[in-house]
Amino acid sequence: MSNKLYEHVKKLSEKHRGAGTEEEARARAYIVEELQKLGYKPSIDPFYTPPSFSYTYITIYMLPVLSSILATMNIGIAVVPIAIAGVVLLVMEEELYIPILTRLYGYIFKRRTANIAVRIGSGARIFVLMAHYDSTRAAYSFNPKRIHTLRSTIKINFASTMLTSGLSILSLYIEVLAIASVAASIPLIVSIAILIHRELFHTYVPGANDNASGVAVLLGVAEAFAGRSMNVIDKATVYVVFTGAEEVGLLGSHTLYRREKRLLKEAIVINVDNPGAGDLALTECEGVLKTWCPDKRFRDVVRKYAAARRIGVKVYKLLPTDATHLMMKGLRATSIMAFEKGSIKNYHWYTDTAEHIDPENLSKAANIIIDMIETLTTESPIP
């Protein structure tokens, strides 16, 4: 199985797969073709996407910066709404995963992407398997020499947004605080420059590990179930979903939730992201600043299963995955990911190529998913 899955990774990572690009559309066609070869009839659910998350965060960071500039100019009437808008949008987009600006930019750019889904089996236990197939642009912040500072940068920007906005509003009563608000906005100005530089000078990465490897794993799972006549699929229903536009703000996962909310609330969700290199682990919680977790009973099930199979369990604290906002909504979700010394290899960088993928990781991840479905179906440990 490992060699075939590795071939999927090689083919998918030959070209970048930026959200809404022609290359992403070709990747989508490849996935559909592979599923059809296995006898499935995949459904395609289209939606709009912006090309990058940069537009969302440039806008958000500009609002508190603008509020501080207006405060120094004594234009008080505009300071309060602009400052509050920056805080609200940052919390909604970054911490609550409500993609208001991201969707707005999707409608402005009108780039098309889609989720691809197949249904396998007709049993009572429901599983939703997810993997995104888009890749992202590189950026200064994702350079392997600086990636370890990414979470600190996110925390600093959050604090800078709150402080800048607060000082801008208070400057209406204490004028000297207007200058302090400008100083507090410096991290945001730096981040805006980095995001603009990202859009002007960086290109999309091959995305072999993130997430051609996850797509390959799910294609392997779909093939394994297609080749079995009598098995656990008689007792379970498995939805295999390949999501688009994850890298711009989890839009594929959001679209799936909006349109299949009832199904997801009944399901066990297994997301596959970056499984191609490193030690495989299951996530029990995810989130950047605020950590979101499923209910304790499901976390206990994940821990028990991982311990029995000698798989790691991790609280994932970097950029969100398709499972993060599902955890926030209280759904029973986990991600299968791979880590090396606690980090993701070649994360969002040009070195994320097929030669850095371990083929054995792919087959191991596919087997974990199949075994997990069989175990959670036959042993029924979840009420």
**Residue pLDDT, tens place only, 237-257:** 999 999 999 999 999 999 999
168 plus 180 within the same structural domain: yes
231 plus 308 within the same structural domain: yes
Pick the last residue of a domain from 201, 228, 251: 201
Q: Which of 68, 56, 70, 138 is nearest to 103 (CA)?
A: 56
> What are the CA-CA distances from residue 370 to residues 154, 223, 268, 377 (Å)?
36, 11, 13, 11
- d(CA 278, CA 340) in angstroms, rounded, equals 5
What is the amino acid identity at position 200? L
Given a contact cutoff of 8 angstroms between Cβ atoms, the answer to whether 239 and 126 are in contact is: yes
* Domain assignment of residue 370, yes or no: yes
Given a contact cutoff of 8 angstroms between Cβ atoms, the answer to whether 101 and 56 are in contact is: yes
The pLDDT confidence band at residue 234, using thresholds 50, 70 and 90, is confident
Pick the last residue of a domain from 182, 201, 220: 201
Is residue 229 predicted with pLDDT exceeding 70? no
128 plus 276 within the same structural domain: yes
pLDDT of residue 380: 58
Looking at residues 353-359, what average pLDDT do you find? 96
| Least confident residue range of 109-118, 120-129, 266-275 | 120-129
28 plus 150 within the same structural domain: no
Looking at residues 339-359, what average pLDDT do you find? 94
What is the amino acid identity at position 152? S
The pLDDT confidence band at residue 233, using thresholds 50, 70 and 90, is low
Q: What is the pLDDT of residues 57-86, one digit of tens each?
A: 999 999 999 999 999 998 878 999 999 999
99 plus 149 within the same structural domain: yes
User: Could you give the 3-state DSSP secondary structure of residue 190?
Assistant: helix
Is residue 125 predicted with pLDDT exceeding 80? yes
* Domain assignment of residue 383, yes or no: no
Cβ count near 119 (within 10 Å): 14
Q: Which of 188-197, 232-241, 371-380 has the highest mean pLDDT?
A: 188-197
Residue 313, domain extent: 2-47+113-139+204-378
224 plus 270 within the same structural domain: yes
In CATH, what number is assigned to the domain containing residue 120? 3.40.630.10
Phi-psi region of 346 (alpha: psi -120 to 50; beta: other; left: phi over 0): left
- d(CA 44, CA 104) in angstroms, rounded, equals 22
Q: What is the pLDDT of residues 190-203, one digit of tens each?
A: 999 999 999 999 99
369 plus 232 within the same structural domain: yes
| Least confident residue range of 191-195, 205-209, 223-227, 304-308 | 223-227
- Which token pair is 228? 């079995």
223 plus 361 within the same structural domain: yes
User: Could you give the 3-state DSSP secondary structure of residue 374?
Assistant: helix
* Domain assignment of residue 185, yes or no: yes
230 plus 150 within the same structural domain: no
Q: What is the pLDDT of residues 12-46, one digit of tens each?
A: 999 889 999 999 999 999 999 999 999 999 999 99
285 plus 148 within the same structural domain: no
* Domain assignment of residue 93, yes or no: yes
pLDDT of residue 165: 98
Measured N-to-C along each axis, helices 54-72 and 186-201 cross at an angle, to the nearest 10 degrees, of: 140
149 plus 193 within the same structural domain: yes
215 plus 182 within the same structural domain: no
The pLDDT confidence band at residue 231, using thresholds 50, 70 and 90, is low
Which stretches of 241-352 are DSSP H helices?
A: 251-259, 261-266, 296-309, 324-328
Q: Which of 140, 229, 151 is nearest to 191 (CA)?
A: 140
> What average pLDDT does the chain have?
94
Count of domains forming the chain? 2
Looking at residues 269-278, what average pLDDT do you find? 97
> What percent helix, strand, coil does the chain show, rounded to 5?
55, 15, 30
